[in-house]
Structure 1
Amino acid sequence: MVTSTEADLTSSIVAAISALLGPLHGGAPSKVDTLLDEIGSVENAEAVIRNKVERGERIMGFGHRVYKTHDPRGAA
């Protein structure tokens, strides 16, 4: 939206990043950062994710909640 006003590139990028941080976006990027911090290293990834799945927790960063069967952004 900002870019469509012919704003400069820097302003457009800052606006896009800022929009991701807003609470109405759901804060997903910060939740992904928290998950990555929890995992810590590649060696821990499978165990952490497996435990979350077994407990029925959400795994942030893997598609949008409106996609019930698959995320079309990942289609080849």
Structure 2
Amino acid sequence: MAITEAPRGLLCHHYVLNRRGIVERANIVTPTAHNFLGIEENLKKLVQQHINEKKEDIMLKCEMLVRAYDPCFSCSVH
């Protein structure tokens, strides 16, 4: 098992090898996975605060919030 600080947060990984040294199982927890609960909670709060605005404006704010947590999401939410 290894844990390292990546640019976007903690990266954890664990591997199980067989007797020949071949990976049989791998578990990787990315910074995105660590941050997902916070992203979700803040998105809910943001939408509640701006619920009376136009849908397009709310979506833009949500996209900005996600990018603040995880720049790698920027391509998937624009």
TM-score, normalised relative to structure 1:
0.30
Larger radius of gyration: 2
TM-score, normalised relative to structure 2:
0.29
Q: Which one has the bigger helix percentage?
A: 1
Larger RCO, structure (CA 8 Å, separation 6 or more): 2
